[in-house]
Amino acid sequence: MLSGYSDSDLGGQVDDRKSTGGMAFYLNESLITWVSQKQRCVALSSCEAEFMAATAAACQAIWLRNLLGKLTGGDIGPVILYIDNKSAIDLAKNPVFHGRSKHIDIRYHFIRECVERGEIVVKHIGTGDQRADVLTKAMATVKFERLRALLGIKNLQKPNLN
């Protein structure tokens, strides 16, 4: 099963107020790819920033799904994409053009087509369990270590015994 996590901060870049999006993808329980990237344009709301990040994740998900299908010769099935913003999920699931979303560039509505075709299933996940959160912003050490462990990344350095 191919699954992914998508997250974004809102205006975290102090110089230009652009957001940072992050995504992490798993094949079964193994982390196979992750990305942290500054978004191309300024988002006007957390919903928009999350929707833009989810669309970028949808593009990556489709590419991974096609690659795995070619490598295995089988049907991979839909990719489950976990998002922690309910408004962004509603935008991705609802093909109706909302007045509140008319300012969002058309390219970011690609995720809607993926959901309609059944290639991607978007699901809500609580912010505390959002694995991609660690890719979008600075955080306290305890939270960073918890999210790093959720990602499946281990600290291989030996503790200092001095």
User: What residue has token string 């992750």?
Assistant: 34
Predicted confidence at residue 15, as pLDDT, reads 86
Q: What is the pLDDT of residues 3-13, one digit of tens each?
A: 999 999 988 77
By three-state DSSP, how is residue 7 classified? strand
Confidence at 54, pLDDT banded by 50, 70, 90: very high
| Whole-number average pLDDT of the chain | 86
* pLDDT in the model for residue 77: 92
SS3 of 70-101: HHHCCCCCCEEEEECCHHHHHHHHCCCCCHHH
Contacts of 9 (CB under 8 A, 6+ apart): 19, 20, 49, 136, 137
Asked if 104 and 98 touch (Cβ cutoff 8 Å), the reply is no
2-151 has which CATH code?
Answer: 3.30.420.10
Report the chain's C-alpha Rg in angstroms.
16
User: Looking at residues 57-63, what average pLDDT do you find?
Assistant: 95
Tell me what pLDDT residue 97 has.
53
Task: Tell me the pLDDT tens digit for each residue of 100-140.
Answer: 555 555 566 788 889 999 999 999 999 888 999 999 988 89
Lowest mean pLDDT among 3-17, 45-59, 85-99, 125-139: 85-99
152 within 8 A of 25, measured Cβ to Cβ: no
Apex 26 CA angle, 25 and 30, nearest 5: 140
Task: Give the whole-angstrom CA distance, residue 160 versus residue 143.
Answer: 21
Query: Average pLDDT, stretch 39-61?
Result: 89
The residues spanned by each domain of the chain are 2-151
What pLDDT is recorded for position 105? 53
Does 158 have pLDDT greater than 80? no
The percentage of the chain sitting over the pLDDT mark of 90, rounded to a whole number, equals: 46
Q: What is the pLDDT of residue 153?
A: 85
Q: Which residues contact 96 (CB under 8 A, 6 or more apart)?
A: none
